[in-house]
Amino acid sequence: MRVACIGECMVELSERADGSLVRGFGGDTLNTALYLARLGVAVDYVTALGDDVWSDEMAAAWAREGIGLRQVRRLPGRMPGLYIIRTDPAGERSFHYWRERAAARDLFAGPGAAGTRAALAAYDLVYVSGISLSLYGAGGRAALAETLAALRARGGRIAFDTNYRPRGWPDRDEARAAFRAALAMADLIFASVEDLDWLFGAAGEAEVMRHRGRAEIVLKVSGGPGPVARVLHGADETAVPAGPVARVVDTTAAGDSFAAGYLAARLAGRAPEAAAAAAHRLAGAVIGHRGAVIPKAAMPDLALRAPASDA
């Protein structure tokens, strides 16, 4: 099974309580790729980097995590984007971006783009997010859509996460059109009520539910005693609540790790409900630590390598 995650990794500056900054690297689909690799999935990251020292450090870090680099294009004279995370006392975070000239924005443009598209169309599963869509502009999104259509024509599958950041889009109408096109193409949809409300208002859930039966849908609902994943597979629907979490330190990468846990479990043959439970466990571990990437020793044992009895 050849899996690819498409998107952008940026230089990350995390602001501490005393105002100091700690540098790292991060990006939503990169976080998902990292946790997929840790869970034993062979995954490549598909992006563009510059020829600077930070790009070198990123690529080296991904290789240490077992992420494949064969689809990482290096663009001379370019650099990654940058963002700062501020986290409030409750663990909620806000993001502030500087990314207009980031190399990843030209993944589907210029020399080498045709090779990237041809390689991408050969994967068995491709994971892309709403943030990924915001990178490329109308021309890049059209090239991506053509590539994913070629992938589906040969039997590949697409997973789409609705991860929506308003500041990444010139206007909401453009975002809505891009999301509707992605939802219509996806075989597996990760959506949150929060994202859908921000983008579509009261009609958000209906935008996703029109694909019920055609696509596998995981709709995350917050509130109450804890988050719940509504899992819709064929004609079946099951609500899978998250287990208790001892302490929420930082919600960064909660959704990214959830997607990784779910995908890894499904690829290991687990039923959708069991996959959602595994995804909750991983996300619960991630939010108990500061930052997007938790220590390897803190990874929960999801037992995905054991013979599946619930597929």
What is this structure's pTM?
0.92
Is 126 among the domain residues? Answer: yes
Is 224 among the domain residues? Answer: yes
Is 310 among the domain residues? Answer: no
Supply the mean pLDDT for the chain.
93
Is the predicted pLDDT of residue 306 greater than 60, yes or no? no
The kind and range of the H/E element at 149 are helix 130-153
Q: Report the pLDDT averaged over residues 74-81.
A: 95
* Cβ 250 vs Cβ 24: under 8 Å: no
Partner residues linked to 191 by β-bridges: 219
pLDDT band at 91 (very low <50, low <70, confident <90, very high): low
Provide the token pair at 295. Answer: 């220590």
When divided into structural domains, the chain yields a total of: 1
Tens digit of each residue's pLDDT (9 = 90 or more) over 157-213: 999 999 999 988 999 999 999 999 999 999 999 999 999 999 999 999 999 999 999
Is the predicted pLDDT of residue 149 greater than 70, yes or no? yes
201/171 Cα distance (integer angstroms)? 15
Is 303 among the domain residues? Answer: no
Is 98 among the domain residues? Answer: yes
Provide the token pair at 281. Answer: 């466990």
Is 19 among the domain residues? Answer: yes
Of 51, 173, 256, 301, which one is the catalytic site residue?
Answer: 256
* Cβ 33 vs Cβ 8: under 8 Å: no
- The strand ranges marked E within 176-309 are 188-192, 216-221, 228-233, 236-241
How far is CA 134 from each of CA 57, 155, 189, 217, rounded to the nearest angstrom? 25, 26, 17, 22
* Cβ 11 vs Cβ 82: under 8 Å: yes
Indicate the DSSP class of residue 109. S
Is 305 among the domain residues? Answer: no
Domain containing residue 137: 3-298
262/51 Cα distance (integer angstroms)? 34
Percent of the chain residues topping a pLDDT of 70 = 97
Between the two ends of the chain, the Cα-to-Cα distance in Å is 17
262/271 Cα distance (integer angstroms)? 10
Q: Is 256 a catalytic residue?
A: yes
| Residues written for the chain | 311
CATH code of the domain covering residue 120:
3.40.1190.20
The reported pLDDT for the residue numbered 283 is 96
Least confident stretch, 21-30, 117-126, 242-251, 271-280: 242-251
Is 147 among the domain residues? Answer: yes
